[in-house]
A and B are shown apart, each in its own frame.
Chain A
Amino acid sequence: MQVTGGGTGVAAGEEPGAAAKARRRVGPYTLITALDDPRTGLPVPERRHIARSADGRHTVLLSLPRPGADAGRFLAEADGSRYLLGPCAAPATALAGPGEPAWYSWPYQPVLPLPTALAVHGGPLPERTVRALGVALAETLAVLHGQGLAFAGVSPAAVLLAADRPRLSCFGAVRAAAPDGTPRSGLPGLEAGSLPPEQASGGRPRPLGDVYALGATLAYAATGHTTPERDELPAAFRTVVARCLSRDPSTRPQLAELIDALSIGAGTDAGAGADNRAATLLTPGWLPGRVIAALAHQSAAVLTAEIPVEAPPAPSADPGTSPVSRPHPN
């Protein structure tokens, strides 16, 4: 199996010229391939692509709102993500200007959405991977909560696996899907199992909602679905993940508890401090071999991909669409 996060075949260099010419342009970018593989069947709140600037110099991960989604809320969350801190945050570095169709982007690196990683691996991920994932994401959420933010969008598809650590994308997907006060159950793009009940009913996303969503996402990594039977979960963190999935936010664990529970018995250095447990887990072997192979395959295919070079359009042909934050000032 060689699913690489591109259902359309990432090896664009092999495409005939006609297909290459048909590539879509979005803002200053030409699309190379889709990041998500629809065959995984999990909802994705955004349409994500690997894309490249017209001069060929900058390859990015580019997100667009789903068809019919509110572009304004999408852009507002993208704008908010620019200030995210934490090792696994994925802040937008460029976004569409006023009047332009909505998009945001951040620099490309090889990543696999979590559902693709399971498909590539051939099933649920090893316990070691789940622990590392859980601790790294929990540490980043703790930073975020310290900034006074709720992520509101943790889901299997939002988690991207990179070589060194996971990245948390799709910031604010729940808020973008519908404003507070509007029921969100069944909205397109939101994965039901990782949507906290209080947010599904229209409540304002809060930090303990992120704990629920993270629990569901870890359950997915360990079992292949977000609403597992209790005994499907690995015994080592069965209890704590089940507590994350409590309907009542007040009975969910704090992130520090979750980090402790996931670290126990995983050989982490207790002296590493509560805010740096992930580093002791993200060591060689944290990702299974086939996931690394898929990352390398994606990287090689994107290195090989070539976008069609066109004569630069006359400056007057494109009025009033200069992005608010010009992409790639260098």
Chain B
Amino acid sequence: MKANFKYNLAWLGVMVLGFVIIDACEFLGIINTFIENMLVTMGINIILATGLNLIIGFSGQFSLGHAGFMAIGAYATGIITQNIATPLGFYLSMGVGIIIAMIAALIVGIPTLRLRGDYLAIATMGAAEIIRILINNFKITNGAAGLFNIPPLVTWVTVYVLMCLTTIITVNFIHSRNGRAIMSVREDEIAAEAMGINTTRWKLAAFVFGAGTAAIGGSLHAAYIQTIAPGDFNIMASIAILIIVVLGGVGSITGTFVAAMVLGALDTILQNFGTLRMIIYALALILIMIFKPAGLLGNWEFSFKRLSRRLRKESAIHE
């Protein structure tokens, strides 16, 4: 903790700086509702994609069901805040969403995580579809019409703070002893097992953790957009998050941030192109997989530690 104090301080500085810049722009009127909407979408996508990257990039399991867990969070918020329309109600609903999503992830994960790669993808996709179909038919979720007039309890500040919080927790989780166990499962499951790591348990841990962050993203989505329908959480939604992860780099949180921001901006610019935008994304996905399968940034991470070390080295050379 002490050794990294300087670098943690630097990261805190970055977060505060980001907040101050957005706040100043908001104050000066540079950010209108349109841009604010874009920024909030980026923030929510970062939360969602960070969770998915933990599953795909760090534990090496392929989940195609992220939108299902997002739906749980979104509907928890939608239903609860319509009855308790206070900020406290929102956080309560988010907590409920996270817990339900984690339980669902446990139920889905325990049988399916024994499967390998591509089977797992199909099984998680099936699970997400089951969640969506259930929501589509329940009375409490208002069926296919979805929920509307959800109280607007979320501003960009909430999204920003939660984005920072989930990222800090996720990164710390990855850098902990448990995180190393998870990465060892990705590298070689058999070798990891031989080292005494309970592979199923750690795969499950990453999966459940990812599901929890997806629920946070869903809660924010519901409270900010104020309208949700089962159709928002179909396979396409899962694939959209997958595209962010793959584009940024499978196993790079920095990459996820960059990709979520670039794609968020592109989405806004290309809004009028509709389907053509999807064609471009699909082509980009195929081309990246063929020419740079690890994603644009691979597993490279930006780190203040390395930066300062390099600066020190360079100044030593100049002296």
Asked if A and B are interacting partners, one says no
